Structure 1
């Protein structure tokens, strides 16, 4: 069964460009992962600094491998997360 992750990120408008750049770098690297089916980055309409990510993996093991990847640490943990003012993540099994 496929595994989906929906993340909502918010940053201060002055950090929007840096967060966007890191998310797009993460998207390129994540799409090359063997278990990744989809990694979409959206800017929230009408909300400066708002981002919505939709990720889909073959299974939970694929997502765990994603979190262990060097690009996840570099782009998300070390670059994006410190710039966020709010973050929520929902995990789901795809029916």
Structure 2
């Protein structure tokens, strides 16, 4: 089994209107990921209690090639192009599997 390739992205949104717009963008993008990306094992969008202007994405791919394929999808490019107008910033943390239970193992 592959060791997988993962990341966490933390988005900070401008205001409540921007949060609503961002959530709509996500709602249009996620079904395309589900439909067209077999190498995307998990793509989970979280809200954060007590931080209404924060969204956290957890992404897990079969391998780095699956992540690169995700980045080349038209729906991903549209998301990446449109997200900026909703944000004050974001951070990306790349992950390596240490141990655990899930669709991939080390």
**TM surpasses 0.5:** yes
Tell me which of 5, 8, 27 is aligned to 2:7. Answer: 5
Give the TM-score, by structure 1 length.
Answer: 0.90
Residue in structure 2 matched with residue 26 of structure 1 by the alignment: 29
Tell me which of 81, 91, 98 is aligned to 1:88. Answer: 91
> How much is the aligned-residue C-alpha RMSD, in angstroms?
1.2
Distance in 2 (alpha carbons) for counterparts of 1:82 and 1:94: 33
Q: Which has the larger radius of gyration?
A: 2
Determine helix, strand or coil for the equivalent of 2:51: coil
Tell me which of 69, 74, 80 is aligned to 1:70. Answer: 74
Give the TM-score, by structure 2 length.
Answer: 0.81
Determine helix, strand or coil for the equivalent of 1:34: coil
Distance apart, 1:8 and its partner CA: 0.1
Structure 1 unpaired stretches of 5+: none
Aligned pairs, number: 94
Deviations along 1:22-80, one digit per CA (max 9) or x if unpaired, are 122222222230201011001111112210000100001110110111001112x1211
